[in-house]
Amino acid sequence: MPTHANNAERLLKIRNLTIEGHSDDEWIEIVHGINLDLHKGEVLGLIGESGAGKSTIGLAAMGFTRDGCRISGGTIEFDGMELTTRPKSELRSLRGSRIAYVAQSAAASFNPAHRLIDQHTEAPVHYDIMSRSDSQVDAMELYEKLRLPNPKEIGFRYPHQVSGGQLQRAMTAMAMACRPDLIVFDEPTTALDVTTQIEVLAAIRDIVEQFNTAAIYITHDLAVVAQMADRIKVLLKGDEVEEADTATMLRSPREDYTKSLWAVRSFQKPENLRPDASSAEIPVVAVDAVDASYTRGAKVLHDVSFDIHRGMTVAIVGESGSGKSTTARCITGLLPPSSGVVRFNGEELPPSYKQRTKDQLRQAQMIYQMADTALNPRIKICDIIGRPAQFYSGLSGSALKTRVEELLDLIELEPAQYYSRYPPELSGGQKQRIGIARALAAEPSFIICDEVTSALDQLVAEGILKLLDRLQSTLNLAYMFITHDLATVRSIADEVVVMKEGRVVEQGPKTVMFKPPHHAYTDLLLSSVPEMDPDWLTRLLEERGVDNIGEAARN
Amino acid sequence: MEFLHGWMPAFMVLATIAGVLLAAVAMSWLFRALLVWVLPGEGSKVMRSAPLTASFGLFVIILYALAGIFAPWVAPYGESEVIASSFAPADDKMLLGADQLGRDMFSRVIFGARNTVGIALIATSLAFLMGATAGLIAATRGGWMDQILGRFADVIMSIPSLIFSLLLLSIFGTSAFVLIVIIAVIYAPRVFRLTRAVSGDVVVMDYIEAARLRGEGLWYLIRKEILPNSKAPLIAEFGLEFCFVFLLIAGLSFLGLGIQPPTADWGSMVRDNATLISFGEITPLIPAAAISLLTVAVNFVVDWMLYRSSGLKD
């Protein structure tokens, strides 16, 4: 793979690129002198945490900057043309026809008012590369190459009529419409489930190879970039950390930062086992034969049952739409189950949260996926954390202040510094810690963690997982951990419950669950998690066959 | 020089307009500099980035407020004191001349600020109190409560406001109290609609769910969690509605159903002196100018606040 780096023609040459961002009436440098080379047909992976400047550099490769950013220095040479000094109109004609961009969220990037194929043919027709009818035929061919179902017909649907994975592939097809020399992929699979991710990855890799297109692949997921890229460049806060071809980078990273990124998935807490059946300990939470449906809709939960014991973590795993979060809503009482009961320490809970006592509400707390929407932006940190303590334990004055400081210490944030800040002044990881502190302030015995790490960078996510683990052992908490990320399950869970289409498919202790034989669906989920091995996707495709991945494999 | 004669008046008018505009700009600039200097920390920072229009608006509003509050001391004569013959022209004792009964126009304009603006302010506040409370409750509670309040608001809004207020005023009589209540009832549904829409976006947030699951009551949810997040558009709307209420009162007074004589009021002052227009006097336009100046000033400030609430993503 890396061999053609030397003899192929150079397509993109970025030298000493600096980009500035505008904030508070000054320009702050956010990318500090990046060099980048890309040859025809080569795929370069850009990885790093959020704020590393990945997307900014990716867009700069098209001669584009977001609002409030400007290229302040350096050169960008695309196929012999200097982009930084080109007039805007020429850059515009370059984009779409010779350089294309695939965005993170296809659902948000497609215009919902137009059919897929009409959006597809827009660029080729606009640039007089193809006639509308030729372009439509070409679109269908591309859809077929990307293994979309019904390639002749799918283009005539509207974006909301196809699934997320299909939409992301349709977007890749659209990027290919003018046969560009370079495609920038900006986290194209981050918003997708593992099983869907595979089909998109396989499709992208295939089509890039077939048309010998050069690509910049931006992601924060190392295992994904290992499958896609010929070379990997690691970025940190707008600086390059190191660059090497994929195999070398995975085998022997030079820099400490890269090594720490590589080691992220190594955290694993010791597994707790359920107390003996003979001791007959009553589980903290017992979900018993719960059915549920949203108002007048179809049933979304079918006979869901599982137990959560004191001091243990139960991971609920499944794709989106499998009923994980609905189960959590039944436990918290936001969605009263249509039949079945939820027991708390053996005691039956009233179905709706409105009928529960203060103490019942206090015992079960929740940590949310999006810390941004889970914390009121207009309330100070001390009040966010202090309110549950005040509400449930009746603390006030200096006792309340001491308690809040204690909680801030517990989540490893300096009380003096964070006590009177507002949530928007914190980073994503810090916000999530505040969310944890708010749950702890109620002194619960059971916490529901709803995808708490999926919006965070891997290093930050690991910190959160370690914190949750430490809190569990000191406070003897029971966790219900909702996630679709099996790496997280592997590191933190004691027991695993696998859900599919509102039913529990399989459940058991982690060690048992991660060893064969599995239920077919568990197997599919497990084998779909990308591994840090560059040949993993190739092997998987050989095992399953190209037509039997993703959605096709589910049935 | 002779040919200039015909042009002189036009030139003077242009020069006056230019002079007034220049003076307004200079005054706004000075006023902003003064506020930046006087206000403590945060306020000073806010004012530094404020546009001149906003500082002009603030200046006019403060001027009106001072005139209204200190009317008996500022005005040279009493509100209903007859000091000259009717429609007496301006002299060195009467800045703007006398009205149809021989009362000092200038004093009445100042007292009018107190009456008209005062009633408009109270009526708008009452409309906001009723509308915002109902809107917040409807958004937070949802269900049948939302339906009842919403349909009730629809009923009031479906009746044209001027006709509705004329009807109610002729039924209940025209005291200041009745006027305030009727205007508040007419304007509350608009506030209700806006509040419900704005807080509807807030109640679906996870932090509201967290507060509900904590077992918090309706009152806490509204006061601590929802209101702080929907404040900005409501404040801007307050300024806007204030102008409408103000114009409605002036309109009602002009029709003779608003504030009753001998209380000074800008709307009725326009009507009472309207005949003077045919004699080429601008006296009836002075209270009208007072109305439009305040409306413009309030809108300048509101525009600035809307810009701040949409532009500053803190």
Identify from A363, A376, A379, A393 which residue to disrupt to test chain B contact, counting B C-beta atoms within 10 A and taking the largest count. A376
CATH label of the domain that carries residue A303: 3.40.50.300
Q: Could you give the CA distance from residue A267 to residue A466 in angstroms, rounded to a whole number?
A: 8
- Tokens, residue A474: 């000191």
Please give the full DSSP string across A344-406, using - where no structure is assigned.
ETTEEPPSSGGGS-HHHHHHEEEE-S-HHHHS-TTS-HHHHHHHHHHHHH---HHHHHHHHHH
Identify from B208, B213, B216, B226 which residue to disrupt to test chain A contact, counting A C-beta atoms within 10 A and taking the largest count. B213
Predicted local distance difference test score (pLDDT) of residue B134: 94
Identify from B48, B198, B203, B205 which residue to disrupt to test chain A contact, counting A C-beta atoms within 10 A and taking the largest count. B205
Residues A128, A221, single domain; the answer is yes
A16 in helix, strand or coil?
Answer: strand
Predicted local distance difference test score (pLDDT) of residue A279: 60
Predicted local distance difference test score (pLDDT) of residue B4: 58
Residue entry with tokens 């591994």? A531
A29 in helix, strand or coil?
Answer: strand
Predicted local distance difference test score (pLDDT) of residue B246: 81
Residue B204, CA distances (Å) to A171, A259, A373, A433 in order: 31, 41, 9, 22
Predicted local distance difference test score (pLDDT) of residue B153: 94
Strand partners, A245: A231
Q: Could you give the CA distance from residue B254 to residue B78 in angstroms, rounded to a whole number?
A: 22
- Neighbour-count burial of A81, counting CB atoms closer than 10 A to its CB (0-12 exposed, 13-18 middle, 19+ buried): middle
Q: A333 and B228: CB-CB below 8 Å? A: no
Residues A256, A312, single domain; the answer is no
Q: Could you give the CA distance from residue B181 to residue B165 in angstroms, rounded to a whole number?
A: 10
Residues A385, A503, single domain; the answer is yes
Q: Could you give the CA distance from residue B153 to residue B192 in angstroms, rounded to a whole number?
A: 8
- Neighbour-count burial of B59, counting CB atoms closer than 10 A to its CB (0-12 exposed, 13-18 middle, 19+ buried): buried
Q: Could you give the CA distance from residue B304 to residue B199 in angstroms, rounded to a whole number?
A: 22
A523: in domain: no
Instruction: Identify the domain boundary among A263, A297, A326.
Output: A263
Chain A contacts to B (CB-CB under 8 A):
332-334, 353, 356, 358, 361, 366, 368, 370, 373-379, 387-388, 391-392, 422, 424, 438, 442
Residues A354, A482, single domain; the answer is yes
Q: Which residues of B touch A333 (CB under 8 A)?
A: 213
Residues A294, A253, single domain; the answer is no
Residues A18, A152, single domain; the answer is yes
Residues A342, A448, single domain; the answer is yes
Identify from A349, A378, A421 which residue to disrupt to test chain B contact, counting B C-beta atoms within 10 A and taking the largest count. A378
A526: in domain: no
CB within 8 Å of chain A, chain B residues 209-228:
209-210, 212-216, 224-225, 228
Residues A80, A143, single domain; the answer is yes
What number of other Cβ atoms are within 10 A of residue B91's Cβ?
10
Whats the size of chain A, residue-wise? 555
Among chain B residues, the shortest Cα distance to A371 is held by B206
If you count residue pairs, one on A and one on B, with CB atoms under 8 Å apart, how many are there?
48
B12 in helix, strand or coil?
Answer: helix
A527: in domain: no
Distance from CA of B241 to the nearest CA of A (A): 26
Omega into B262 within 30° of 0, i.e. cis?
yes
A555: in domain: no
Candidates A366, A370, A375; nearest CB to B213: A366
Query: pLDDT at residue B141 above 80?
Result: yes
Q: Could you give the CA distance from residue B260 to residue B262 in angstroms, rounded to a whole number?
A: 6
Q: Could you give the CA distance from residue A168 to residue B171 in angstroms, rounded to a whole number?
A: 66
- Tokens, residue A297: 């809709």
Smallest Cα–Cα separation from A476: which of A444, A508, A511, A502? A444
Q: A374 and B212: CB-CB below 8 Å? A: no
Angle at A515 between CA A513 and CA A516, to 5 degrees: 105
A487: in domain: yes
Q: Could you give the CA distance from residue B250 to residue A264 in angstroms, rounded to a whole number?
A: 70
Asked whether A229 and A43 are in contact (CB, 8 A), the reply is yes
Among chain B residues, the shortest Cα distance to A424 is held by B314
Residues A99, A184, single domain; the answer is yes
Omega into A517 within 30° of 0, i.e. cis?
yes
Asked whether A235 and A46 are in contact (CB, 8 A), the reply is yes
H-helix or E-strand spanning residue B102: none
Candidates B206, B224, B225; nearest CB to A374: B206
> How many domains in chain A?
2
Residues A245, A350, single domain; the answer is no
Asked whether A373 and B205 are in contact (CB, 8 A), the reply is yes
Residue entry with tokens 């517990």? A410
Residue entry with tokens 């209540």? B181
Q: B214 and A387: CB-CB below 8 Å? A: yes
- Tokens, residue A351: 């179905």
Q: Could you give the CA distance from residue B107 to residue B96 in angstroms, rounded to a whole number?
A: 9
A433: in domain: yes
pTM above 0.90, yes or no: no
A535: in domain: no
Q: Among the CATH numbers 1.10.520.20, 1.10.238.10, 1.10.3720.10, 1.10.150.120, which is that of B78-311?
A: 1.10.3720.10
**DSSP at B104:** B
- Tokens, residue A511: 């060690």
* For residues B218-240, average pLDDT: 86
Q: Could you give the CA distance from residue A64 to residue A56 in angstroms, rounded to a whole number?
A: 9
Q: Could you give the CA distance from residue A532 to residue A251 in angstroms, rounded to a whole number?
A: 10
Distance from CA of A54 to the nearest CA of B (A): 24
Per-domain residue ranges of chain B: 78-311
Predicted local distance difference test score (pLDDT) of residue A339: 87
A112: in domain: yes
* For residues B89-100, average pLDDT: 78
Q: Which residues of B touch A353 (CB under 8 A)?
A: 212-213, 215
H-helix or E-strand spanning residue A426: none
With a threshold of 0.90, tell me whether the complex ipTM lies above it.
no
**Which residues constitute the domain of residue A463?**
277-515
Angle (deg, nearest 10), helices B176-203 and B161-172: 140
**DSSP at B39:** S
Q: Which residue has the higher pLDDT, B313 or B208?
A: B208
Query: What single-letter amino acid sits at A160?
Result: H
Residues A230, A362, single domain; the answer is no
Distance from CA of B214 to the nearest CA of A (A): 6
Segments of chain A with pLDDT less than 50: 1-6, 555
Q: B206 and A333: CB-CB below 8 Å? A: no
Strand partners, A243: A233
Residues A134, A161, single domain; the answer is yes
